[in-house]
Amino acid sequence: MDALDRVVKPKTKRAKRFLEKREPKLSENIKNAMLIKGGNANSTVTQVLRDVEFFSKKSDCSLFMFGSHNKKRPNNLVIGRMYDYHVLDMIELGIEKFVSLKDIKNSKCPEGTKPMLIFAGDDFDVTEDYRRLKSLLIDFFRGPTVSNIRLAGLEYVLHFTALNGKIYFRSYKLLLKKSGCRTPRIELEEMGPSLDLVLRRTHLASDDLYKLSMKMPKALKPKKKKNISHDTFGTTYGRIHMQKQDLSKLQTRKMKGLKKRPAERKAEDEENKSKRIKKN
């Protein structure tokens, strides 16, 4: 049996906790990013990594960004992610234009704030390389998953535009202004960083491996509820099964408008009397 196939048994409690953290979970841990500076990275790439660190936590985990610079591929960024401790996707981007956080003299949002992500451009939905890049950027910048958020917590926007073979990355602080009604008026103020990127090389997982990495465990799939349906507007409809009911015995509310007139009651009595005579 190969050494890699052997079951590793922890010898200490600390090792046991470490291995338990690495085990697959129904609800995975929050994805953090590892930012790596290459030995030949120039000042532009170094500052890009510093600015990206403002939006993501630095840790040894499933997301990574590597910055480097050389004559063949200047101002180079490689962004990628791991699955089952192997590289799933890697996409290489070239920095053509960069404006740092410190160069834009506006107020900033608190570090670690959860952003809103906006993707513009048909390429993000049509081209496979751009679709994977969109998924990778969402993984990289989405932040922790939350069940709800208050309006004041929507503080900044990360905007990605795919146009003419380039990716434009912009960051805006969201300002809530008085509008004279309950819903505030929204204004966007650029706070940086700002990058013009070009797609270079890609190393993408096969379709089968990608689908496997996106597969949801059965325990997390919502159970289908019987006799409940929804229309296009989100309205919920329920179906109730009941035994057949004799409506002639249904007790209705007595109302003056529903009472029979004396003439009607007399005619009905005579009709019932004639029916009894015929039976006899």
- CA terminus-to-terminus distance, the chain: 98
d(CA 154, CA 109): 10
Residue 176 lies in a domain: yes
244 belongs to a structural domain: no
Model confidence over 222-253: pLDDT tens digits? 777 777 887 777 788 888 877 787 777 776 66
Sequence-ordered list of residues with C-beta below 8 angstroms from that of 164, at least 6 positions apart, any chain = none
| Cβ 121 vs Cβ 153: under 8 Å | no
Domain count, the chain: 1
In a domain, 280, yes or no: no
Confidence band (pLDDT; 50, 70, 90) for 114?
confident
**Do residues 90 and 80 lie in contact, with contact meaning Cβ atoms separated by under 8 Å?**
yes
d(CA 76, CA 80): 13
Cα 39-42-43 angle, rounded to 5 deg: 130
Q: Is residue 264 part of a domain?
A: no
Cα-flanking dihedrals φ and ψ of residue 186, to 5°? -105, 130
CA dist., res. 237 & res. 235, Å (int): 7
Which CATH number does the domain housing residue 203 bear? Answer: 3.40.50
**Is pLDDT above 80 for 56?**
no
Residue that the structure tokens 């410190």 belong to: 102
SS3 call for 19: helix
Q: Is residue 278 part of a domain?
A: no
Which residues 6+ apart lie within 8 Å of 36 measured at CB? 64, 65, 66, 67
The predicted model scores a pTM of 0.68
User: Hey, what are 121's tokens?
Assistant: 């451009």
Say if CB 64 and CB 81 are below 8 A apart.
yes
Tell whether 77 is covered by a domain: yes
**Assigned domain for 232 exists:** no
Higher-pLDDT residue of 272 and 122 is 122
For 125-163, b where at least 16 C-beta lie within 10 A, e where not — what string? eeeeebebbbebbebbbebeeeeeeeeeeebbbbbbbbe
Q: Omega into 184 within 30° of 0, i.e. cis?
A: no
pLDDT tens, position by position, 163-177: 998 999 999 998 888
* Segment among 52-61, 196-205, 260-269 with least mean pLDDT: 52-61
Residue 113's CB: how many other CB atoms inside 10 A? 15
Per the DSSP assignment, residues forming a β-bridge with 91 are: 79, 202
For the chain, how many residues are written? 280
Assess if residue 240 is contained within a domain. no
- Integer Cα distance of 273 and 104 in angstroms: 99
Question: What residues make up the domain containing 75?
Answer: 13-212
pLDDT confidence of residue 28: 63
